[in-house]
């Protein structure tokens, strides 16, 4: 119904932004990373998914068609709703998530609030063949190692995850990803 919206950012809050387009303000839920890139008064473009329920119409926005495709793929899994799917996309880039699913790494997916072991296993069972085997497997293992090391250094899971999202995928070894994440965290 509403596939893409381009307009001006009127309001930016935790969890959503209001995008003004054609005289209408659209409330769009998005990942923390997507919202962090917005500036009030600036232009923005979102690929969108409209979730229609008995008592609400909710818009979810994504920076790329690939993110939207992955979000909609997650929604095909029984028990995964739009809020859980968005929280999963908040965990890591799409390539890393594809890798986790292709490798059957349920533990990686359980790091999302609200996604338990059974749901993570169901996601893997339902989507493993659909996502294919990505090249991000080494980066996934590197992220797991780096997340553990950053947590032991006192960084929160949220801080560590945000820093690792910014590390180039060309760095696949855990220690290299950890050093790059520490540089990012030190620059804040």
Q: Across the chain, what does the average pLDDT equal?
A: 86
pLDDT recorded at residue 158: 75
pLDDT recorded at residue 135: 44
Lowest mean pLDDT of 65-69, 77-81, 87-91, 110-114, name the range: 110-114
pLDDT tens, 32-65?
989 999 999 999 999 999 999 899 999 999 999 9
Q: For the chain, which residues make up each domain, given as ranges?
A: 4-62, 65-131, 137-186
Mean pLDDT within 155-176: 78
pLDDT recorded at residue 26: 96
Confidence label for 149 from pLDDT (cuts 50, 70 and 90): confident
Q: Please state which architecture CATH assigns to domain 65-131.
A: Orthogonal Bundle (1.10)
HEC profile of 106-175: HHHHCCCCCCCHHHHHHHHHHHHHHHCCCCCHHHHHHHHHHHHHHHHCCCCHHHHHHHHHCCCCCCCCHH
Q: Which is higher by pLDDT, 137 or 173?
A: 173
Taking alpha carbons only, the member of 145, 151, 183, 149 closest to residue 166 is 183
On the question of pLDDT at 107 being above 90, the answer is no
CATH topology of domain 4-62: OB fold (Dihydrolipoamide Acetyltransferase, E2P) (2.40.50)
Specify the pTM: 0.73
| Partners of 59 in beta bridges | 28, 50
**Alpha-carbon dihedral 95, 97, 100, 102, rounded to 10 degrees:** -70
Mean pLDDT within 60-80: 93
């Amino acid at each position: 119904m509403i596939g893409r919206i381009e307009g001006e950012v009127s309001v930016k809050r935790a969890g959503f932004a209001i995008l003004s387009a054609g005289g209408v303000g659209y409330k769009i839920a998005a990942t923390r990373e997507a919202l962090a890139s917005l500036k009030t008064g600036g232009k923005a473009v979102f690929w969108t998914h409209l979730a229609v329920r008995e008592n609400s119409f909710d818009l979810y926005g994504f920076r790329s068609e690939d993110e939207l495709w992955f979000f909609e793929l997650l929604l095909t899994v029984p028990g995964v709703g739009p809020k859980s799917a968005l929280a999963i996309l908040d965990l890591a880039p799409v390539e890393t998530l594809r890798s986790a699913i292709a490798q059957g790494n349920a533990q990686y997916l359980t790091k999302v609030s609200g996604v338990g072991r059974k749901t993570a296993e169901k996601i893997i069972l339902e989507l493993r063949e659909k996502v294919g085997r990505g090249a991000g497997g080494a980066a996934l293992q590197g992220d797991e190692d780096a997340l553990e090391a950053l947590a032991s250094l006192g960084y929160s899971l949220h801080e560590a995850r945000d820093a690792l999202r910014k590390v180039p995928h060309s760095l696949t070894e855990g220690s290299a990803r950890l050093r790059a994440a520490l540089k990012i965290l030190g620059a804040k």
